[in-house]
Amino acid sequence: MKRTPKDLEGAHRKLSRRALLLGGLQLGFAGGLAARMRYLQVDQADQFRLLAEENRINIRLLAPARGEVFDRNGKTLAHNSPSYRIIIVPEDADDVEAVIARLSKLIHLPAEDIERARTEMRRSPPFLPITLADQLTWEDISKVAVNAPALPGITPEVGLTRIYPQQSDFAHVVGYVGPVSDYDLSKLESPDPVLRIPRFQIGKVGFEAKREDVLRGTAGAKRVEVNATGRVMRELDRKEGQAGADMQLAVDAGLQNYAQARLGGESAAVVVVDCDTGDLRAIASAPSFDPNLFVRGISVADYSLLTEDPYRPLANKTVQGTYPPGSTFKMVVSLAALEEGLIGPEDTVWCPGYLEVSGRRFHCWKRAGHGHVDLNTSLKQSCDVYYYDLAIKVGIDKISAMANRMGLGVRHDLPMSAVASGLAPDRDWKARVRGQDWLVGDTVNVSIGQGFMLASPMQLAVMTARLATGRSVTPRLVKSIDGVEQPSGAGTSMGLNENNLRMVRRGMYSVSNDRRGTGYRSRIIAEGMRMGGKSGTSQVRNITAAERAAGVIRNKDLPWERRDHALYVCFAPFDKPKYAISVIVEHGGGGSTAAAPIARDVMLQALYDGTPPLSAYPKGDRSRIKAQQERLERERIERDTPQDSDRA
């Protein structure tokens, strides 16, 4: 069909509009491209010059501030303090040895620090900074700053280092930090890059190590311009890291300080558990050490003193040490028998001073025997024969099961180093581990907390708290994280017969408050604060038949390492238990003479939340206690008073 002039004119108009639209789009695209090219080539020329072949941008990590640690009342246990150090850039120093010599005339530079710096210089490019001296005073930094023109390549810097103001009192609880080592990195499958920051500190032992994940924080970063050789030209920007979480422990610093001081020069441990919450109010192990020495780098001489000390100051005896619990285990055997209905409170056993089992005599601690003994008397006077007889009736498997229910032979989940599980043995354990059958003599030994039976002071304190409350009290070390309260360790009912628990507690009351009780001399006489307790003495050597015939050698006549361990456990107030305590004095002799006085004194300090009145003690003890309180107070003041060297 032939198109009319009118149709052709319409088609021409449509084509013109399309051409115009297409041309406009092409022009706009070309204009945008030109503008972008101008922006990149002119406006951003300097930025891209930095990214040329001879330059690049590096991202460098910034160490985060470590979270701080406090006691339950907000007293600082671990914090970060400014740390002044001197660095040297060998390339800028020209003659490095001459600069070091001039610096040595201004401040003290230990020979080992200089040698270490030289080693680092040989391994590193000359433009990288090397630390020459650390942990300097402000006075030293001032001297260096004033003499800066004569010290090319030398720069004073400030960072953060860990400080433990409580010194030795919390060394075994909080632990300490130290620089990351190759060994630390080898233990990690995928190490956090922040760990490779020079001189970055991480937790080595104790709480610092176990909660490293929370305390460390998150690294920040900065962008720096470096040239082709790696030299920093300038800093472009930075983003600070996130500090670690602040942690509040359940421990009471005042009570911990007292407990540590009260242990004195003994090789000993004490644990205080809050029966209401499971909070660990004190966890003292003696002797101790100053963790600040490790942060700064302990000398070979100081470290040798610690490792060669027979009292083992580096070991945390509260959770790491396991010992035969001795007679403190007798409550567990009693409760196992009561729950099985095998004995009643009036049932008696005849104690002639020994029990013959399978042709062997198992002796009572009282050579002449106790005569007819019931449950209360067996605890009060700690008759061994009563428990030999009882354990044979109950059997080791039920005794072991009850021990587990009471927190023995169980590893408590605590953020502390080397927490031991102890041992509550049974038939399966001996067959599996020793490849031997269980013997009735093994049961007799376990009945008085000897033989294979092992427990830590922490476990014994938990056992005592559970006896006192009837609940599955669980020890709690962390009270809050960044202000967020952590779950309580109060526990729930263990389902034990309350009458049975009451009979065992009554026996513990007699131990401390009956004139014939083994703990009577270390009783509390303040109304409403009387305690129930149990002494224990665990042998560390075998007594031969010949020695028994000639007379058992007294502990004080034996070398220290062959003397018996002394133990004591207690709770108070008796009618409404608030605290449970366990004490062990290594090779201390008798539990009633060595451990019970410490337990009583720490208990009163906890109940009164400070120094108790002398009226809480028996009259015969008051003059001695007064002198002791005055001595401990003098020692506290001396410890808390800064020395001249500390002020500097």
Least confident of 125-129, 240-244, 364-368, 384-388: 125-129
Least confident of 224-228, 391-395, 442-446, 621-625: 224-228
Q: Beta partners for 106?
A: none
Question: CA–CA separation, 617 vs 525, rounded Å?
Answer: 6
Question: CA–CA separation, 98 vs 105, rounded Å?
Answer: 11
The amino acid present at 274, given as its one-letter code, is D
Question: How long a stretch of residues is the chain?
Answer: 648
pLDDT score, position 18: 67
Q: Give residue 546's pLDDT band: very low, low, confident or very high (50, 70, 90).
A: low
Span 298-340, pLDDT tens digits: 888 888 999 999 999 999 999 999 999 999 999 999 999 999 9
Task: Output 256 or 217, whichever has higher pLDDT.
Answer: 256
Span 86-97, pLDDT tens digits: 888 887 777 888
pLDDT score, position 644: 46
Contact 370, 383 (CB under 8 A): yes
Q: Give residue 17's pLDDT band: very low, low, confident or very high (50, 70, 90).
A: low
Span 44-79, pLDDT tens digits: 666 666 555 445 676 667 778 899 999 999 999 999
CATH number at residue 412: 3.40.710.10
Give the domain extent around 372. Answer: 253-640
Question: CA–CA separation, 217 vs 194, rounded Å?
Answer: 10
Catalytic residue among 285, 327, 400, 447: 327
Count of alpha carbons within 13 angstroms of residue 537, beta-carbon side: 21
Question: CA–CA separation, 184 vs 180, rounded Å?
Answer: 6
Domain assignment present for residue 504? The answer is yes
DSSP string for 197-235: STT-EEEEEHHHHHTHHHHS-B-EEEEEEEETT--EEEE
* List of residues 6+ apart from 383 with CB closer than 8 A: 349, 351, 364, 366, 370, 373, 377
Q: How far is CA 67 from the centre of its chain?
A: 15
Domain assignment present for residue 340? The answer is yes
Domain assignment present for residue 221? The answer is no
Closest CA to 206 of 309, 298, 319: 319
Question: CA–CA separation, 255 vs 268, rounded Å?
Answer: 16
Domain assignment present for residue 635? The answer is yes
Tokens of 597: 């006085």
- Where do runs of H (alpha helix) occur along 124-223? 138-146, 171-174, 182-186, 206-210, 212-215
The DSSP letter of residue 236 is E
Going 174 to 177 to 182 to 188, the CA torsion angle's sign is: positive
Closest CA to 109 of 118, 261, 221, 412: 118
Number of folded domains in the chain?
Answer: 1
Closest CA to 592 of 381, 445, 388: 381
417 labelled catalytic: no
Contact 228, 55 (CB under 8 A): yes
Least confident of 11-15, 20-24, 322-326: 11-15
Closest CA to 193 of 214, 232, 220, 157: 220
pLDDT score, position 124: 72
Domain assignment present for residue 104? The answer is no
Least confident of 85-89, 124-128, 424-428, 628-632: 124-128
Tokens of 590: 């008798």
Tokens of 168: 């030795």
Domain assignment present for residue 197? The answer is no
